[in-house]
Every structure is written in structure tokens, then in C-alpha cells.
């Protein structure tokens, strides 16, 4: 559609295995879902109904139907799975997911303490029926894990059948892979990426500066999660170098009189 | 509607006297009003058209009609009442409220300086015709009142006929009952709650961390105000323990192999 | 429509030459455009499709048509012009603007380094066909310009044919005319305003505190830019003294028993 007046990198189309944009729906109305799809539907790979909102939102059925019409998979928040574990109602959760026609499930332990062997057993069990996104890292910013523990947990969860492993941040973009001020724990990310192929990871990156950092570190095909609906288009421009923060430096052969990008 | 796969606390239905969610409408379109009601209308107890927006918004009539259809009371911002006081146009304001069919009024002195006796006289006068929400506390974070003054003012405003007394914060969640960084003045709240029944109070709590604090301190039936429309569903999950921040600890009899909630 | 129960200052109607509200559209859906116009369309003077979003958004054609129906001029983000300059595709950009029926263009150098003579030449060339908004100041907060350089550049860009010159801030409200924490560089603004008529300037002011500062400094008819769609109504109330931050002090002759505005 767009006249090719700029050289831009190529983005793969849906369904994607990498370059995923994982959107958090904190309680969208149907009109807001429609708006997001009208503006940037081609960039929405998966939608999470945040934490336990699915239990309370009054438009669940029609919203799930709308996402289904557009072939966008939906996953419920990991906190809901944790509540089901905590209340010994995993079978009931599974029954509800079947009833709702939801094919993805998030398995996390950001809120409760769960022996890793039990988490792996649950991943293995649910991976038989669902596409599993497991999540590593705590929402508790006083519970720091050494990088080798992150790597080990991620590897074992992938072996147990997880499709992708999510590197946790709070919805606000703190804790987990971020410091309390939202800054990326770069050393941690380096160690994880040294051991595990980035396309198996999905980094939660709700803040723009975090998205910029990951696009610059891993390229346009990095998998990013907890993206606000109103930021999907912005993230797409960050991937493509259409926003100041990720505009590529001018090529040397374009220079003599041509402009040079400022350092930042 | 929701399959009972989790044990959740009970929320009372509308119209409520406690557990109120008081929403601030900073200029919603009709479609946004409809979206909020579609998603979480059962949790919207009262809507404030923030500060003087009612005078300028181009969709006032149709918006008021929409809220009326859904039996949601509307109140105009206290700043508007203060302007009417300051310009000696209280009668004209009352006439306008009648014309608009608005049955609630907010009486505050966060912006102007008003002798407390005059404020009480106005509460008493308007309480004859309107449901009065009076507000205590200044938007000016250099004007600190001692806790006993808060208590005395709140008690006298209730005696004068206020339905609820609002404990002031700025829309950004600072000043009044918060420090400049948004942190709750806990000692102040303790002194107020020691003297006055919490169901007579409505705490302005626009930020999530503030909502978490009040739900943990007073339980799910605390009255909270200045809630952004897009946060109504989130607040409902906080009340019900469906979001990480307020998930209840696991019960002892559920434990042996079962998970335990992390400390935070 | 509004009953005249308050004394309010007069705002000029559209099309305006001063008192402009320049809105940033980061990716609105049609329903969101309609909502903004329903609520505060009379206050929307010009809309910018932020940075390179126009290239990616999937609803470009219908959205441009909608703005056109409402006689609201649209301008694409300056970053897009900078990319065209950088890739030597200015002619192609101009062709695309013609095709889209867009009559305004932003010429900036916030991201790339561009000799000022080249920028002036481009302003002069495009001013023949388009209404040019040129922008002074960098998104790079380490690239500080002395006030006299700001003045000189602005004067020469106006001479070259710019309709208004935009004083740059990042979309987040930092860099350019602001410090890293968003505070206004007041001395810089004073020097600029001493030399250049404020109606020729458009100050980017995305944050409320910045809008308050400019309205208090220059009055209700200051031109402000990068206003979020959901803040247009709030800005209008700030201009008119209907929000606490800009409520005018009570008049002396109104006082005896009447209230006095608190200091802030």
C-alpha cells in the first residue's frame, strides 16, 4: 500500500515465530479491540488478558469471539494460573479454558512460591493440550536470582515443552529483568542470550526505553511482551527504524553533503 | 456468568454505600463511556466530570443522558463549585445543575481559601436538595494540616449533611493525603480512621500503589476516588485478590506440597 | 450552549493564528478521532501523525479523509522528513504528500545533523507549495545550544518562509526547551520571547505542568504542541482558568467575605 519512498527493513508476516509483539489487554472494550486491529492488527501476534481480569470483565465472551475472528491467540494472565495452583483448581482452570476455546496458557510463579519440579511437571502436562508460555523471574524485586539460575530454569522449561519462555517484568516495567527504576539488567540479558536462542525468549518490555534497548540489542525480530495496545504501532516503527530512537546512522556513501545521525 | 473455579470474596451490588468506585471522567467520548460500562459498568458507582471540563466539553448533554440511562450518578468537579463561590455565582451553579438534572454536588476548598464556617453553611444549604460530597485537604502541598484538624473538619462536614467526605489528593496522586512522591501519609490516615467510620470517607487514590495500600489497609469495601476509567477493572481485581499485589496468602491447610505466597 | 454562569476569558474561533493546539496522533483509530472531535473538536487546530507512524498505520487513508471532512490540517512527523533527507528521497516524500492531499510539512533536524543552510534552502523550497512548520532544537539532551543560536535559527527559518517555528521537546517532554526532568528552561524561553513574537512560535508541551507554565507565562493564546488527544480538553480548561492550576486569583472588589486563592 505504502509508496516505497523509503528503504526499510523487511518484517515477516503472521503467523510469526519471531519478531512477536505480545500485547497486554488490561480491559479493552470491543471498540478498543477493533481500533487496535484497524491501526496495527498485522503487528499483534498474541494478546494476554492481564492477571485475573478475565474473571471480572463483563465482555469476555464477545471479546474472545472478536480476537478469534481475527486469528489472534489469547492467553490469560499467569496470576490466574497461580491462583488456580494455589487453590488446587488447575483442573477447573483447564475446563474453563476449553469452554472458552482458549488454546494458550501461561505458567508462571511470579506471585506464589512453587517448587521448580512442580512447575516443570505442570508445563509438561499442559503442553500436551495447550501452547505453553512459561515465565521465569519474580514480581518481587527483593527476590534476585543469579543469571545461571535464570538460564537453567529457562532451559528446563523449554525442554518440558514451553513454546516460549517469558522473561518477567512487572506490568509497570520493574523487577525481574529490570532494576527498580526500569533500567535493563544488561549483564543478565547477555548471559541468558549467550546460552539460549533469543527466538525462544519473550522479553516483557512495557516501557519505550526498554523496547528501544531490546530492538537495538537483538534487532527488529526480537520478541517483546506486555506491550500496551496504544504502543503497538510505536513498537512497529521502532522495529523498522521509523522513530528517532532507532533511526539507523546514515550510510558513508550517502554522506559528503548528506546528514549524519547525532550520537545518543 | 463466570464458572466458579476460584474462591473469591463477595462484592456487594449497586447501589452501594461502601466499596464505592468513584471514577474521574477527564473528557470521555460517548464511545469511551460505552466501553467503560461494557467492561466494568457494575463497578462504576459515581462519575465525576473533572474540574471545569463540564463547561467546555462539546458532548455534555448526550453524555449526561448516557450516564442517566445506566443509573450512574454524575457530579461536577469541586473546582467548578469553588469558581462559583469565588465569582459569587452559587445560585447560578445550582440553577445549572437543576437544568442538567444533576443530583450530586462536590463542595471543596482545595483551590480557594474559604472560612470553614462558610463551607459548612454551604454544605448544609445544598444538602437540602443535593447529595453532597464535601472534600477536605488542599491541592497545595505546602499547606499541611495537622491530623486533628482533618478529623475535626471531616466530622463537622458530616454533621452538616455531607453524604461522604473526600480525602483530597491532586489528580496526579500527590498533595493532600499523599506526600509529593505519591506515598500515603499513613499516620494521617490512621488518625482519621481511628475517629471516623471508613464508609463515610472516600479516599482519592489515582495511582495503583495507592489503591493497593488502601485495599490492604481497609479491605475490599474501601471507598476509592479519582479512579481513571481504564483502571476500574484493575481496581476490581485488586479488591477481589485477582492481581498479584493483593493475592491473599495460601491457607495453611492447603499447603504441604502447595505453594506459599512470596513476601513483599 | 453553556449557560453564562461564570465569567470566562474569550477564546478566538477556528481557523486560528494564535492560541493553537497542535495534537499528536500516535496511532488513533477512526473511533478515537471521532471521539476527540466530539469532545473538543473546536480546540483542535492541527494534528501531527507522530514520527514515522504514517508509513505503518493501517488506516491512513480513511483517517486522513476524516480529518479533511472536519477541516483539520494534518502534518507528518519531522522524523519522516529527516529520513527522506537522509535517504535522499525528498522528491519522493513530496510526491507522497501530494498523493495524500497533505498541505503541511514539518522540517526538523532533531535526529540527523543537517547544515543550517541546507535546512533553510529546504524550507524555502517547500514553502512555495506547503505550509511549513520548521523545528528548532535537538532530541539529544547532550546537544545544548546557546539561546542566541536558538534566536538566530528561528529568525532565519521564519525569513525562509516557515509559518511557525516549533521549539522542540521529545514526545516525553524532555530535551530541547526542557531539562532532563521535564522542567522548562525558563531563561532560554525568555531570551527567545524577547526577540521573536510568541505567535510565530509553537512550544511543544506534552506534560500538564509544562502547559500550565506556558499559559501562565504567555496567556491563553499561546501556541502549544505535541498535546495528547486525551489532554486537549484539559488544555482548553487550563487556557480558560477552569482547572485549579490556572484559576485566576479572586478580584479585590469581590473579597470582603469572599475567598482568596491560595498561593502556590
Q: Over 60: is that where the pLDDT of A13 sits?
A: yes
Nearest Cα neighbor of C15 from C37, C46, C40 is C46
Q: Do C86 and A232 touch (CB under 8 A)?
A: no
- Residue B156: C-alpha distances to residues A54, B80, B160, B232, C161 (Å): 43, 23, 6, 31, 64
Lowest-pLDDT choice from A135-139, A147-151, B129-133, C82-86: A135-139
Closest-CA distance, B58 to chain C, in angstroms, reads 5
Say if C116 is an interface residue toward chain A (CB within 8 Å): no
Identify the pLDDT of residue B251.
59
Q: Where are the alpha helices (DSSP H) in chain B?
A: 30-40, 53-56, 60-69, 78-86, 90-100, 116-127, 147-159, 186-195, 208-218, 232-240
Lowest-pLDDT choice from A30-34, C22-26, C246-250: C246-250
DSSP B43: G
| Mean pLDDT across B180-187 | 90
Comparing CB atoms, the residue among C27, C52, C87 nearest residue A40 is C27
Identify the pLDDT of residue A251.
60
Q: Do B234 and A88 touch (CB under 8 A)?
A: no
Beta pairing class for B21-25 and B224-227: parallel
Comparing CB atoms, the residue among A55, A118, A138 nearest residue B262 is A138
CB B22 within 8 A of CB B45: yes
Q: Phi-psi bin for A254: left (phi > 0), alpha (psi -120 to 50), beta?
A: alpha
Separation of alpha carbons A241 and A244, rounded Å: 8
Say if A93 is an interface residue toward chain B (CB within 8 Å): yes
Return the C-alpha torsion angle B240, B244, B249, B254, nearest 10: 90
CB A73 within 8 A of CB B56: no
Name every residue whose Cβ is closer than 8 Å to that of residue B221 and which is 6 or more positions away in sequence: B12, B18, B19, B199, B239
Interface of A with B in 32-91 (CB under 8 A): 32, 50-53, 55-60, 79-80, 82-89
Nearest Cα neighbor of A201 from A237, A158, A231 is A158
Greatest Cα-to-Cα distance within chain A, rounded to the nearest angstrom: 69
CB A92 within 8 A of CB A83: no
Chain B residues with CB-CB distance to C227 below 8 A? none
Element (H, E) at A135: strand A131-136
CB A48 within 8 A of CB A241: no
Say if C236 is an interface residue toward chain B (CB within 8 Å): yes
Q: Do C38 and B51 touch (CB under 8 A)?
A: no
Name which residue leads in pLDDT, C108 or C249: C108
Nearest Cα neighbor of C50 from C16, C79, C84 is C79
* Mean pLDDT taken over chain A: 91
Entry pTM: 0.93
Domains of chain B in start order, with CATH, are 21-245 (3.20.20.70)
User: DSSP letters along A85-126, please?
Assistant: HHTT-HHHHHHHHHHHT--EEEE--SSEE--HHHHHHHHHHH
Residues C148-194: tens digit of each pLDDT: 999 999 999 999 999 999 998 877 777 789 988 889 999 999 999 99
- B196 pLDDT tier (thresholds 50, 70, 90): very high
Q: Over 80: is that where the pLDDT of A173 sits?
A: no
* Mean pLDDT taken over chain B: 91
Chain B CA closest to residue C254: B87
Q: Over 70: is that where the pLDDT of A261 sits?
A: no
Q: Over 70: is that where the pLDDT of C208 sits?
A: yes
Q: Do C5 and B79 touch (CB under 8 A)?
A: no
Separation of alpha carbons B132 and B143, rounded Å: 24
Separation of alpha carbons C43 and C237, rounded Å: 11
Identify the pLDDT of residue C4.
65
Say if B236 is an interface residue toward chain A (CB within 8 Å): yes
- Which chains lie within 8 Å of chain A at 3 or more CB pairs, if any? B, C
CB C92 within 8 A of CB C81: no
Identify the pLDDT of residue B252.
53
- A145 pLDDT tier (thresholds 50, 70, 90): confident
User: DSSP letters along C209-253, please?
Assistant: HHHHHHHHHH-TT--EEEE-GGGHHHHHHHHHT-SGGGPPPPPGG
- Burial of A173-198, coded b for 16+ CB within 10 Å and e otherwise, reads bbbbbbeeebebbeebbebbbeebeb
Name which residue leads in pLDDT, B40 or C178: B40
CB C169 within 8 A of CB C206: yes
Q: C-alpha grid cell for residue C170?
A: 521529545
Say if C109 is an interface residue toward chain A (CB within 8 Å): yes
Q: What is the CA radius of gyration of chain A?
A: 19
Say if A119 is an interface residue toward chain B (CB within 8 Å): no
Comparing CB atoms, the residue among B89, B93, B143 nearest residue C262 is B143
Chain C residues with CB-CB distance to B80 below 8 A? 242
Query: ω into residue B15 within 30 of 0, thus cis?
Result: yes
Element (H, E) at B24: strand B21-25
Separation of alpha carbons B51 and C237, rounded Å: 8
Chain B residues with CB-CB distance to C254 below 8 A? 86-88
Q: Do C233 and B82 touch (CB under 8 A)?
A: no
Identify the pLDDT of residue C80.
96
Residue for cell digits 547525532?
A: A262
Comparing CB atoms, the residue among B39, B236, B250 nearest residue A59 is B39
Q: Where are the alpha helices (DSSP H) in B114-225?
A: 116-127, 147-159, 186-195, 208-218
Amino acid at each position: 500500500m505504502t509508496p516505497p519512498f523509503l528503504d526499510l527493513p523487511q518484517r515477516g508476516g503472521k503467523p510469526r515465530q519471531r519478531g512477536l509483539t505480545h500485547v497486554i489487554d488490561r480491559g479493552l472494550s470491543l471498540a478498543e479491540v477493533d481500533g487496535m486491529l484497524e491501526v496495527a492488527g498485522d503487528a499483534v501476534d498474541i494478546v494476554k488478558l492481564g492477571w485475573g481480569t478475565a474473571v471480572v470483565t463483563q465482555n469476555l465472551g464477545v471479546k474472545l469471539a472478536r480476537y478469534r475472528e481475527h486469528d489472534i491467540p489469547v492467553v490469560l494472565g499467569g496470576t490466574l494460573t497461580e491462583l488456580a495452583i494455589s487453590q488446587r483448581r488447575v483442573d477447573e482452570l483447564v475446563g474453563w479454558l476449553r469452554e472458552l476455546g482458549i488454546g494458550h496458557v501461561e505458567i508462571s510463579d511470579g506471585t506464589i512460591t512453587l517448587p521448580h519440579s512442580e512447575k516443570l511437571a505442570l508445563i509438561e502436562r499442559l503442553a500436551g493440550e495447550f501452547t505453553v508460555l512459561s515465565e521465569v523471574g519474580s514480581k518481587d524485586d527483593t527476590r534476585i536470582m543469579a543469571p545461571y539460575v535464570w538460564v537453567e530454569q529457562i532451559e528446563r522449561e523449554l525442554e518440558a515443552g514451553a513454546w516460549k519462555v517469558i522473561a518477567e517484568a512487572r506490568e509497570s516495567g520493574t523487577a525481574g529483568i529490570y532494576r527498580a527504576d526500569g533500567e535493563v539488567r544488561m549483564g543478565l540479558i547477555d548471559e541468558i542470550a549467550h546460552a539460549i536462542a533469543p527466538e525462544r525468549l519473550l522479553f516483557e518490555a512495557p516501557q519505550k526505553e526498554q523496547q528501544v534497548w531490546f530492538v537495538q540489542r537483538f534487532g527488529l525480530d526480537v520478541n517483546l511482551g506486555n506491550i500496551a495496545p496504544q504502543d503497538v504501532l510505536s513498537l512497529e516503527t521502532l522495529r523498522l527504524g521509523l522513530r528517532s530512537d532507532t533511526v539507523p546512522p546514515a550510510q558513508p556513501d550517502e554522506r559528503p553533503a548528506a546528514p549524519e545521525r547525532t550520537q545518543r
